[in-house]
Amino acid sequence: MKRHSTSTWTVARTIASKDLRIEWRSKVLVNQVLPFAAIVMVLFAFALDNDGILQRVAPGLVWLAVLFTSLIIVQRTFAIESADNALDAIKVAGVPSAGVFIGKSVALVAQLLLFECVLVLLALVLYQVHLSWGGVVLLVTVSVLANIGLAAMGALYGGLGAAAKGRETLLPLLLLPAVAPVLIGATRATESAFGVGGASLGEGWPWVALLAVFGALFGFGGTLAFGVLTEE
């Protein structure tokens, strides 16, 4: 009668492909979250209606917009689990928690990368910043590493708050302070990629190393902690 436990990687792959399929099917991210992100970028441009200031603060604005957007995406990714109580069904299935965490994180990274492409393009147009080829390489590296950190923390705190009362307000309270190092590192590295404030490309790479450390720490820590924190 009994079944054997499914491997962590099978669970991770199944969860990630399910999450991405649901987003592709529902189009909520494209039809609702993407316009929200674009509006945030435009409002920043209106609020700081001065080319010099806008270009100077463009990296921070891009990453603030990413951070706001990531809050919505993380809430959305756990809302689909709680809509018909699928999260309980996953728990009862006795699958490895690490697989659920990795699957959720991978799906979040994919979604955040899509958003960042759009937000950077908007920054190039609205804030009139410039990117060299070296800057593109640096920015892509920063985006991937920063997203791993954001996604890992998002999956961890999203799972933690999924069953909690007032989860909509709890998530920003938990997540924003935790990802502050990612925001700082990504903004500094993006300043170098955009070449604003006299920053050179070479100054950005040490921040990349810092983002890699955060990504590894958050990813590894989240994999270990997710099961313990979300079980009760």
Rounded distance between C-alpha atoms, residue 158 and residue 42, angstroms: 28
Which lies closer to other proteins via its Cβ, residue 47 or residue 164?
164
Which lies closer to other proteins via its Cβ, residue 1 or residue 50?
1
Task: Tell the residue number behind the tokens 């070449």, with chain if given.
Answer: 195
Q: Which stretch binds other proteins (CB under 8 A): 1-9, 35-43, 141-149, 181-189?
A: 1-9
Q: Which stretch binds other proteins (CB under 8 A): 11-19, 42-50, 149-157, 188-196?
A: 11-19
Binding mask 76-115 for other proteins (x = CB under 8 A): ----x--xxxx-xxxxxxxx--------------------
231 binds other proteins (CB under 8 A): yes
Contacts with other proteins by CB under 8 A: the residue count is 29
10 binds other proteins (CB under 8 A): yes
224 binds other proteins (CB under 8 A): no
Binding mask 12-31 for other proteins (x = CB under 8 A): --x---x--xx--xx-----
Residues that bind other proteins (CB under 8 A): 1-6, 10-11, 14, 18, 21-22, 25-26, 80, 83-86, 88-95, 231-232
